[in-house]
Amino acid sequence: MTHELVNLTLTMVLREISDVLEEYPEHPYQTAFLIHEFRQKLIAYVLSQVPNHYAIAGEPAPARKSGQHASPLAERLYLETVI
């Protein structure tokens, strides 16, 4: 049986980057991040700065470990700060 590892944080990062960029002027920010290489570098930078959560596709999400942010809201606020 093949298992697929899924980065749960990636989806949230992609959505948050899109939301944040909408608030910035089209030129130069939105225009610059339409370039695939720049957007990928931004995504990689953000992912390297925040805790990443992974799951195996088709299995229930594991319980939180101590040391992680206390709540999803805290994680989201931290993500917004990094972006």
* DSSP per-residue string spanning the chain: ----EEEHHHHHHHHHHHHHHHHS-IIIIIHHTTSHHHHHHHHHHHHHHS---EEETTSPPPPPPTTS-SSHHHHHHHHHHH-
Give residue 66's pLDDT: 47
Residue 7: pLDDT band (50, 70, 90) is very high
Residue range 61-81: mean pLDDT, rounded: 69
pTM of the model: 0.73
